Amino acid sequence: MEQHLEVERKYDVDAVVAVPDLSGLPGVARVVPTERLDQLATYVDTADLSLLGARVTLRRRVGGVDDGWHLKLPAGEARTELHHPIADPGDADEPVPAPLRDRVRAIVGDRRLMVSAQLRTLRAVNRLLDVDGRVLAELCDDRVEARTGPGSVERWREWELELVDGPPELLDLAEPVLRAAGARPSASASKLARALAGRLGPDATTAAVLRAYLTAHLQRLQAEDGRLRSGDQEGVHQMRIAARRMRSALASYAPVLEDHADRELREELRWLGEVLAPARDAQVIRQRLLDQVGAQPDVLVLGPVSRRIDDELGAALRAGRTSAVEELDGERYHRLLGRLESLVGDVPARETGRRRAAEMLPRLLRRDLRRVRRRHRAYLGTAGAEERDRALHEVRKAAKRLRYAAESATPVLGDRAATLSAAAKAVQDVLGEHQDTVVARRVLRDLALHADAEGENGFTFGRLHALEERRAAELAARYPQTYDDLPTARGLRSWLRG
């Protein structure tokens, strides 16, 4: 049985980010890409994930350069990794080798070890070499697909920078380069920890489901905070989404929480969303309008249209981001983080919150679905254009709450909850773009007035306004189709059962 010390740093990264060149780091002479690997790792643990709780992972991996059984044990900030060969590569159900089982017996006792997750990793490896060709470290670009149960599939991309024969300070030197390229320190200690973060057993309580969902998005909020402060505008968007998901979940689960336990937190999360909104809204509308101008024939673009859009909305974006960072440095934000951490540590649940989630979640989802349907009926009763726009925006917000509630329920209710979440998202997407047209028309009117005040031709702004009106009409016509894909509130329970 082989053993070595694993020292690495992990980073989350978006799908389209390019791997940076690390050949300029001290001591690194060149970076050499090697073979691409398709690895399949099967992790085992007890039913209550006792190994994961002890920061221990036990897996059987094939498709790489080190096929075999791997046991990783904590060793301070690093981990000791033990390797044991596979007895039969063709036997996916091969039992855990006795020597490895013995090393974890103090944790698992005589409990049965079973498959807890299966991760497929498409890995591209880049080796950092010194002048003598010695491998100092490896930067692994991993695209991961994790399966933790029926209908439970998650995909993400991450980078791992692992030392081989290089000095520990190489990790510190590489970090600014990786972060400048778009990487952010991983919120999870391992791929397995990320895959199992939201996994819940069949007897999980409703409060446990809420706790898992809030924990995941609080971690995301904290990770994206650093991204925003580094100057990456996408951090604003992702922080706002994390805050929305938590606020929405607190609203959906309100019936199982103690009286008023959620209300103040929801208002504080709303405040955080409002802090982040100006920068994000300016970014979205700026890009939308610049794309539209770029799609127009040159003869229909009269005056410095793109420059005005870029100048005014670019200034709004920068001002919004500066204001957001100032608020994030303030006491109110840090008090909110502290309260969220306290909440996920001890969710204040009523008796209904301590019931099995499989029993309570359909009731909560039905409540949110009815909210969507009430707002849809209100929309059908509207008359003027502005009133219809406002009503569709209210439907969108209700559909978003239903989407997130169904998303939180998926670890317990499975594929049907995921399908409900997707149906609600379709409504949200159509009406989200519709709301973008509402905002864009308001901005275009202001831009036209500013252009006119400075003696510029406002024709193109009027044309773009008309195009936005036409797009709004198209989206309003598409909306009934997506709405009709939602199940009825009365039949939701049987629909969830499939």
Residue 338: count other Cβ atoms within 10 Å of its Cβ: 10
The per-residue pLDDT for 317 is 92
Concatenated DSSP letters for 253-299?
Answer: TGGGBPTTTTHHHHHHHHHHHHHHHHHHHHHHHHHHHHHHHHTS-GG
Question: Is the Cβ–Cβ distance between 325 and 228 less than 8 Å?
Answer: yes
The per-residue pLDDT for 266 is 92
The per-residue pLDDT for 147 is 85
The per-residue pLDDT for 448 is 95
Rounded CA separation 428/439 (Å): 16
Compute the average pLDDT of residues 354-373.
Answer: 92
Compute the average pLDDT of residues 248-272.
Answer: 89
Specify the higher pLDDT residue, 277 or 53. Answer: 277
Complete edge-to-edge strand list for the sheet that includes strand 2-6: 2-6, 78-84, 68-75, 57-62, 30-45, 114-129, 135-149, 152-163, 8-12, 184-185
Compute the average pLDDT of residues 74-81.
Answer: 66
The per-residue pLDDT for 403 is 93
Compute the average pLDDT of residues 453-467.
Answer: 95
Rounded CA separation 454/97 (Å): 78
The pLDDT tens digits of the residues spanning 36-59 come to 899 999 999 887 677 776 678 899
Rounded CA separation 47/112 (Å): 8
Q: Is the pLDDT of residue 150 over 60?
A: yes
The per-residue pLDDT for 19 is 93
Q: Is the pLDDT of residue 349 over 90?
A: no
Instruction: Work out the mean pLDDT of the chain and round it to a whole number.
Output: 87
The per-residue pLDDT for 3 is 64
Q: Within 13 Å of residue 223, how many CA atoms lie on the same side as its CB?
A: 23
Share of the chain above pLDDT 90, in %: 53
The per-residue pLDDT for 26 is 93
58 beta partners? 71
Residue written as tokens 């009523």?
Answer: 350
The pLDDT tens digits of the residues spanning 154-205 come to 889 999 999 999 998 999 899 999 999 988 877 666 777 777 765 655 567 8
Tell which residue, 333, 319, 312, has the closest CA to residue 443.
312
The per-residue pLDDT for 381 is 94
334 by Cβ neighbours in 10 Å (0-12 / 13-18 / 19+) ranks as exposed
Res. 126 pLDDT band, cuts 50 70 90: very high
The per-residue pLDDT for 54 is 65
Res. 151 pLDDT band, cuts 50 70 90: low
The per-residue pLDDT for 357 is 87
Max avg pLDDT among 44-58, 59-73, 137-151, 318-332? 318-332
The per-residue pLDDT for 498 is 62
Res. 258 pLDDT band, cuts 50 70 90: confident
Compute the average pLDDT of residues 311-325.
Answer: 93
Res. 441 pLDDT band, cuts 50 70 90: very high
Q: Is the pLDDT of residue 475 over 60?
A: yes
The per-residue pLDDT for 189 is 66
Looking at the chain, how many residues does it have? 498
Res. 127 pLDDT band, cuts 50 70 90: very high
The pLDDT tens digits of the residues spanning 195-244 come to 776 565 556 788 888 887 887 788 778 777 877 877 777 778 888 998 99
Q: Is the pLDDT of residue 436 over 90?
A: yes
pTM over 0.75: no
Compute the average pLDDT of residues 114-127.
Answer: 91
Residue 68: count other Cβ atoms within 10 Å of its Cβ: 19
Rounded CA separation 171/20 (Å): 14
What helix, strand, coil percent values describe the chain, rounded to 5?
55, 20, 25
The per-residue pLDDT for 495 is 78
149 by Cβ neighbours in 10 Å (0-12 / 13-18 / 19+) ranks as middle
The pLDDT tens digits of the residues spanning 373-427 come to 999 999 999 988 999 999 999 999 999 999 999 988 887 887 788 889 989 999 9
